């Protein structure tokens, strides 16, 4: 994914000097989260609304989901990180 796709306006004249830090941070957060958690649909959570919030920083509308450790080893890793 190219950084400019994060930006709502495509005619920007300057480039963000923090883009590599920003993209690397997002990649690390997603990768470490998926390494230790299973994220799945909550069967009791009802329909997921695919709308997004309006504005410069757009987010998915709130929805219910299940976030569970992937394994006993994942629990150890999560607990070790919390204790840092
Ligand atoms: C997802 C995260 C980020 C997004 C979406 C983002 C987006 C942008 C955008 C749209 C601009 C304006 C470009 C223009 O004026 O044409 C900008 C400028 C800038 N960004 Fe970021 N940025 C992010 C993260 C960061 C980080 C982590 C840093 C620093 C560590 C940073 C530092 C700057 C600076 C200093 C400018 C001003 C550049 C200038 O005036 O020439 N940004 N950013």
Domains of the chain: total: 1
Q: What tens-digit pLDDT sequence spans the chain (84 residues)?
A: 555 555 655 566 788 889 899 999 999 999 999 999 999 999 888 888 888 888 888 888 888 999 999 999 999 999 998 876
pTM of the model: 0.75
| Chain centre to alpha carbon of residue 59 | 11
Domain membership flag for residue 50: no
Domain with 25 in it: 3-44+55-82
Domain membership flag for residue 49: no
Tokens of 20: 């590599």
CA 55 to centroid of ligand 1, rounded, Å: 17
Domain membership flag for residue 78: yes
Residue 57, pLDDT score: 83
Pocket around ligand 1 at a 6 A CB cut-off = 6-7, 12-14, 16-18, 21-22
Residues 28 and 36: their CA atoms lie apart, in Å, by 13
DSSP 14: S
Domain membership flag for residue 64: yes
CA 57 to centroid of ligand 1, rounded, Å: 14
Tokens of 15: 């480039």
Please, are residues 47 and 53 in contact by the beta-carbon 8 Å criterion? no
CA dihedral of residues 4, 22, 67, 35 (deg, nearest 10):
110
């Amino acid at each position: 994914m190219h950084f400019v796709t994060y930006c709502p306006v495509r005619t920007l004249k300057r480039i963000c000097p923090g883009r590599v830090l920003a993209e690397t941070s997002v990649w690390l957060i997603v990768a470490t989260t998926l390494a230790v958690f299973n994220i799945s649909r909550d069967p009791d959570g009802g329909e997921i609304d695919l709308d997004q919030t309006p504005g410069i920083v757009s987010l998915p509308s709130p929805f219910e989901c299940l976030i569970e450790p992937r394994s006993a080893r994942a629990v150890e890793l999560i607990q070790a990180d919390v204790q840092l």
